[in-house]
Amino acid sequence: MRLAIYHPWIYLKSGLERTILEIARRSRHQWDIHTSHYDADGTYPELKRFAIRQTSRVSVKRDYGAVLAASARIAGTRLDIEGAAALVVCCDGVGTFITVRNARLPIVNLCFTPLRAVYDLEYRKRHLARRGPWRWLALALEKGFRMIDRHLWRRYRKVVCISETVRDRVARGGLRAREDMVVLYPGVDGAKIAVSDRLERFFFLPGRIIWTKNIELGIEAFLAFRRATGADYRLIVAGMVDEKSREYFAWLRSIAGNDGRIVFHIAPTDAEMQDFYARCAAVLFTAFNEDLGLTPMEAMAHGKPVIAVNRGGPREVVEHEVTGYLAHANPGSFCAAMQLLTADDARLRAMGRAGCERVKRFTWEKFVNDLDDLLEATLEEVKR
């Protein structure tokens, strides 16, 4: 069966692009990938193996003007989806606008999150605070967006959320009844789940270097850890920096100061990332309200404990005091968890082994197979 999938932006090495890649290469069906912004050099190189069709290009900027322009262009886009049995829309904000001119096929929403600036309460609070005197404009635009978004969401035959956190967010926003959605967890390569016996004295903080990842928390916690213990540990921060995050990255470097034990590794390859996971003592996950977070899963797949913020998706993955620690989003709480882990190698290794067992429920094999089953069932319902 031939299927189409759409996401406005395929230009990063994020969990969303990874999910599209895993669907394309593991599904029992053939997929045409559609996007409004494709950067072959910025995203996973393996995607080049698949047919990626770029429509009218939209900006990746997140200011109001750029987002409004992108939304309008996406709404006016008619995809070349002749021959496809269904369209899957990757929703992380404005992707739903593609349904305006492409409702001739059954449409399924693969929801990573509805627009965070509107529906994620933690993100929305920070977003509005950054608007300053223009808060009134943000609230007015939010009201209009909610009205349009709720109308467009009615076009979806099925909604698949990547976590319970996302399903709750969608339901709270009035976009879909909670019982009318299913959760399918993205994950890791099941064939590569194995405890690493390498244990070097460094904490690993991986992921995109962007303000939503709250990386300053990890840096400040590590500095507090060093002051409290004097332990001979390092902190390795690894991820990509896109154009709109360069100012944030410069600020992070200023927080780190001249501490040679804090190392930034920019634009790492997949092989380098896997090597860091395999060698580290533990992984820090500092995003202030993540939708799910593949990072804790990747850590657990290598048998490494995770210290994550006790909010959002990580609570569905990390089992507190079993596979790691769920900490308050402040340096003191993270520092305390880091001290607990490093004080006892036996505890650290036991948590790593427990994580390796737990992560077996979160695999790409299961996710893609369940998605295939859901799409097939949906199309059978349409025929009836």
Task: Specify whether 259 is located in the same domain as 173.
Answer: no
Higher pLDDT, 147 or 384: 147
Interatomic CA distance for residues 68 and 230, integer angstroms: 50
Number of domains composing the chain: 2
Helical H segments across the chain, by residue range:
15-26, 64-75, 116-119, 121-131, 135-153, 164-172, 215-229, 246-256, 270-279, 294-301, 314-317, 331-342, 345-358, 364-383
Identify the CATH number of the domain in which residue 237 sits.
Answer: 3.40.50.2000
Whose tokens are 């990332």? That residue is: 273
Give the angle 11-37-182 at the CA atoms, nearest 5°. Answer: 75
* Largest CA-CA distance found in the chain, in angstroms, rounded: 68
Nearest Cα residue to 73 out of 48, 88, 54: 54
Collapsing DSSP to helix, strand or coil, 10 comes out as strand
The yes-or-no verdict on residue 63 having pLDDT over 90 is no
Task: Specify whether 10 is located in the same domain as 139.
Answer: yes
Q: Using the 8-state DSSP alphabet, how is residue 50 labeled?
A: S
Give the angle 120-308-204 at the CA atoms, nearest 5°. Answer: 120
Is the CB of residue 96 less than 8 Å from the CB of residue 71?
A: no
Residue 29 has phi, psi (to 5 degrees) of: -115, 170
Task: Specify whether 101 is located in the same domain as 143.
Answer: yes
Residue 123 structure tokens: 């993100």
Helix (H) or strand (E) run with residue 89 in it: strand 87-91
Question: What is the average pLDDT value for the chain, to the nearest integer?
Answer: 95
pLDDT tens digits for 295-350? 999 999 999 999 999 999 999 999 999 999 999 999 999 999 999 999 999 999 99
* Chain centre to alpha carbon of residue 357: 22
Task: Identify the pLDDT of residue 153.
Answer: 98
Per-residue CA distances from 72 to 50, 95, 139 (Å)? 27, 11, 19
User: Whole domain around residue 76: which residue ranges?
Assistant: 2-187+363-383
Task: Specify whether 195 is located in the same domain as 179.
Answer: no
The yes-or-no verdict on residue 97 having pLDDT over 90 is yes
Task: Specify whether 74 is located in the same domain as 137.
Answer: yes
Taking the CB of residue 345, how many other CB atoms lie within 10 A of it?
A: 11
Burial of residue 186, with CB atoms counted within 10 A of its CB: 0-12 exposed, 13-18 middle, 19 or more buried: buried
Task: Specify whether 128 is located in the same domain as 201.
Answer: no
Task: Specify whether 219 is located in the same domain as 329.
Answer: yes
Task: Specify whether 254 is located in the same domain as 158.
Answer: no
Task: Identify the pLDDT of residue 243.
Answer: 85
Residue 109 has phi, psi (to 5 degrees) of: -95, 115
Is the CB of residue 362 less than 8 Å from the CB of residue 318?
A: no
What number is the average pLDDT over the span 355-381? 97
Residue 125 structure tokens: 């609070």
Residue 236 has phi, psi (to 5 degrees) of: -110, 120
Task: Identify the pLDDT of residue 271.
Answer: 94
User: pTM of this prediction?
Assistant: 0.94
Task: Identify the pLDDT of residue 268.
Answer: 93
Task: Identify the pLDDT of residue 241.
Answer: 93
Interatomic CA distance for residues 122 and 117, integer angstroms: 9
Nearest Cα residue to 120 out of 152, 148, 93: 93
Task: Specify whether 181 is located in the same domain as 240.
Answer: no
Interatomic CA distance for residues 91 and 185, integer angstroms: 15
Task: Identify the pLDDT of residue 383.
Answer: 84
Interatomic CA distance for residues 378 and 106, integer angstroms: 8
Confidence band of 293 (pLDDT split at 50, 70, 90)? confident
Task: Specify whether 225 is located in the same domain as 298.
Answer: yes
Interatomic CA distance for residues 146 and 336, integer angstroms: 41
Interatomic CA distance for residues 364 and 212, integer angstroms: 25
Confidence band of 384 (pLDDT split at 50, 70, 90)? confident
What number is the average pLDDT over the span 40-62? 90
Helix (H) or strand (E) run with residue 111 in it: strand 107-111
pLDDT tens digits for 208-262? 999 999 999 999 999 999 999 999 999 999 999 988 899 999 999 999 998 999 9
The yes-or-no verdict on residue 64 having pLDDT over 90 is no
Q: Using the 8-state DSSP alphabet, how is residue 366 labeled?
A: H
Burial of residue 139, with CB atoms counted within 10 A of its CB: 0-12 exposed, 13-18 middle, 19 or more buried: exposed
Helical axes 121-131 vs 135-153, angle rounded to 10°: 140
Is the CB of residue 46 less than 8 Å from the CB of residue 23?
A: no
Task: Identify the pLDDT of residue 7.
Answer: 97
What number is the average pLDDT over the span 53-64? 86
Nearest Cα residue to 265 out of 240, 287, 233: 240
Confidence band of 203 (pLDDT split at 50, 70, 90)? very high
Task: Specify whether 28 is located in the same domain as 135.
Answer: yes
Percentage of the chain with pLDDT > 90? Answer: 91
Task: Specify whether 152 is located in the same domain as 271.
Answer: no
What number is the average pLDDT over the span 96-108? 96
